[in-house]
Every structure is written in C-alpha cells, then in structure tokens.
C-alpha cells in the first residue's frame, strides 16, 4: 500500500534518479537537498516498500504556494497517485497558511492539465518559450482556496 509523507533525506537519491528519467532539464540531488527542508516549502513523496513512486514540491512565498516538481514514475501513471499526492500537498500547505497556489505546465501536457483542472486550478496565462528541450510554452494556472480572499 502506497503512503504519502514528507520527503526525507533517505528519499533524495531516488527522487533525483526519478527526476533525471522524467524531466528534460532535471533538478540535481543537491537542488532538492537545499529546498525540501526549508520551513516555507513542502515536499511530499509517495512510497511503497521503500520505493519512491512519485513526488512533488511547493515553495511558499508570502502566503502563496508555487507548486513544482510534480512527478510520477512512468509505469504507474493514471492510477490516481498524482491526484492523491497533490490533494495532500494542498491540505498541508493550507495548514501552513497558504491559500493561493500557482504552477506552470507544458501546454502540450493534456493529462496534467486535465488533472489540475479537476483539482480546481484555472488557466491564467501563457509564458511563451518557458520550457527548453523541447522548447514549449507554459500554461500558468492558479487555484484559490476559500480562505484566500
């Protein structure tokens, strides 16, 4: 049974390895190491039998949360892990006093965009040429919880 919990030091090697497999411009292990423990940030992993299946992060900035590094191992996508993980991230961030959330996603990543819409995110604009390798625009999305206004 998969468990969602805060990222720990013992997860960093697996998270960095998964990051290398999934993203064309991956973060280094050191980048995760420098950010996952900061009190204004929240990083979660989904683990099962010692294996990291998915992870995500949120950078808290003045009551807003910038969601980054949403990743699910390719062989287990479309089984609800990302949705469960992101719901937990939103819940934990809300407990930290964050009630407005933003993220960027490749405009061509229809499955992720559909998931974000399902979670209550709305399209807010486009950042032209935001991504490299391949070059692609980013869709900017926002979600405001009921406590944000």
Mind listing the pLDDT tens digit of every residue in the chain (149 residues)? Answer: 889 999 999 999 999 999 999 988 889 999 999 999 999 999 999 999 999 999 999 999 999 999 998 999 999 988 899 999 999 999 999 999 999 999 999 999 999 999 999 999 999 999 998 888 888 899 999 999 865 44
The closest alpha carbon to 23, from 86, 70, 77, 67, belongs to: 70
Q: Residue 106: in which H helix or E strand, if any?
A: strand 100-106
- Alpha-carbon distance 6 to 17, whole Å? 18
**Predicted local distance difference test score (pLDDT) of residue 148:** 46
Contact 74, 94 (CB under 8 A): no
What is the model's pLDDT at position 147? 55
Scan for tokens 């990543």, then name that residue: 109
Give the residue carrying structure tokens 């993203």. 23
pLDDT of 145 = 85
Among residues 36, 43, 55, 116, the one annotated as catalytic is 116
In the set 104, 131, 132, 136, the catalytic residue is 104
3 state DSSP class of 127: strand
Q: What pLDDT does 25 receive?
A: 85
Alpha helices in 36-149 (DSSP H): 81-95, 110-118
The answer as to CATH 3.40.630.30 being correct for domain 3-144 is: yes
pLDDT at 124: 97
Q: Is 36 a catalytic residue?
A: no
43 is known as an active-site residue: no
Q: Which residue has the tokens 């992870």?
A: 55
């Amino acid at each position: 049974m998969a468990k969602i919990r805060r990222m720990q030091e013992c997860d960093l090697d697996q998270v960095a390895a998964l990051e290398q497999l999934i993203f064309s411009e991956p973060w280094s292990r050191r980048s995760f190491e420098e950010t996952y423990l900061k009190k204004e940030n929240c990083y979660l992993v989904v683990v099962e039998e010692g294996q990291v299946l998915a992870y995500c992060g949120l950078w808290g900035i003045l009551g807003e949360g910038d969601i980054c590094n949403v990743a699910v191992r390719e062989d287990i996508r479309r089984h609800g892990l990302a949705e469960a993980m992101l719901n937990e991230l939103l819940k934990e961030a809300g407990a930290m006093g964050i009630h407005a959330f933003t993220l960027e996603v490749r405009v061509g990543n229809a499955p992720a965009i559909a998931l974000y819409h399902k979670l209550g995110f709305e399209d807010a604009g486009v950042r032209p040429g935001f991504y490299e390798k391949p070059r692609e625009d980013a869709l900017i999305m926002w979600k405001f919880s009921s406590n944000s206004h």
